Amino acid sequence: MATVAEPQLLSSLLRIPIDRVQPGPNARGDVGDVTELAQSIKTLGMQKPLLVCDLGDGRYEILDGHRRHAAAKRVGLTNVDAVLRKRAPGALRIQQQLAMHAQSKSFDPIAEAKALHTLMWEHNLTREQIAAAVGKSPGWVRDRIGLLQLSPVNQGAVAAGRLPIGQALLMVKATRGERDGRVPAEPKLAPRVLAAPAAHCRTCCCGVTR
């Protein structure tokens, strides 16, 4: 007969003065408008703790919960609840944030695309590596990053849910003038130093060759 495992305490919930908590690298980028979230926290309190790492000297850095932190500061909270985790390297932290937000579906597609773009172009990860980290296919990663080729107006419509993803991807394909079977290139948001050739996949059309 199978035995039931006893519950284990895996991490402690801390209550930290908000002025000792600072933002860390954020896969979402800008926290955006937190007005509604701030009102909810003011009325009901913070329902989900921050995820933080210990920087020493009584200071903590946010791993997850940047919007909640910004909203809490807006309404004047003096303390926040947080769960302590070990700090991870920059690229891994972005991957972890993407995975967490994918599970909770709290990222809009454009914010997600920007985070994926950062992993590819600033941290030299391949589509295959990114896909494995977030539990998606390389094609999904390619298409998501491709949304950044839309105009700012259309990106805003995708982020707000007014423009369906499928329709947006068709618009990207039409803009590129693609033909069936052709692999699209990842967009470049700003001039950057190209990643090392060995860091890219064989199907990448970013202009870097082996």
User: Which CATH number is 90-199's, of 3.40.50.620, 3.40.50.1440, 3.30.1360.70, 1.10.10.2830?
Assistant: 1.10.10.2830
pLDDT at position 113? 86
pLDDT band at residue 94, thresholds of 50, 70 and 90?
Answer: low
Query: Across residues 127-132, what is the average pLDDT?
Result: 83
Asked which of 16-20, 54-58, 68-72, 123-127 is least confident by mean pLDDT, the reply is 123-127
pLDDT band at residue 183, thresholds of 50, 70 and 90?
Answer: very low
pLDDT band at residue 26, thresholds of 50, 70 and 90?
Answer: low
Residue pair 136/103 in contact by the 8 Å Cβ criterion: no
Q: Which residue has the higher pLDDT, 190 or 78?
A: 78
CA 93 to each of CA 119, 148, 155, 195, 201: distance values in angstroms, whole numbers, following the listed order: 10, 22, 25, 20, 22
pLDDT at 209 exceeding the cut of 50:
no
CA 42 to each of CA 16, 45, 195: distance values in angstroms, whole numbers, following the listed order: 18, 6, 45
pLDDT band at residue 192, thresholds of 50, 70 and 90?
Answer: very low
pLDDT at position 131? 83
13-84 and 90-199 agree in CATH topology: no
**Distance from CA of residue 60 to its chain's centroid?**
20
pLDDT band at residue 101, thresholds of 50, 70 and 90?
Answer: low
pLDDT at position 20? 93
Mean pLDDT, the chain, as a whole number?
75
Residue pair 62/51 in contact by the 8 Å Cβ criterion: yes
Domain 13-84 has CATH 3.20.20.140: no
DSSP structure string for 62-83: EEE-HHHHHHHHHTT-SEEEEE
Q: Which residue has the higher pLDDT, 157 or 92?
A: 157
pLDDT band at residue 184, thresholds of 50, 70 and 90?
Answer: very low
Query: Across residues 186-201, what is the average pLDDT?
Result: 48
Q: How many other C-beta atoms can be found within 10 angstroms of the C-beta atom of residue 140?
A: 15
pLDDT at position 77? 92
pTM for the structure as a whole? 0.49
Domain boundaries, the chain: 13-84, 90-199
16-20, 56-60, 182-186 — which one is most confidently predicted on average? 16-20
pLDDT at position 64? 80
Asked which of 61-70, 167-176, 199-208 is least confident by mean pLDDT, the reply is 199-208
pLDDT at 160 exceeding the cut of 90:
no
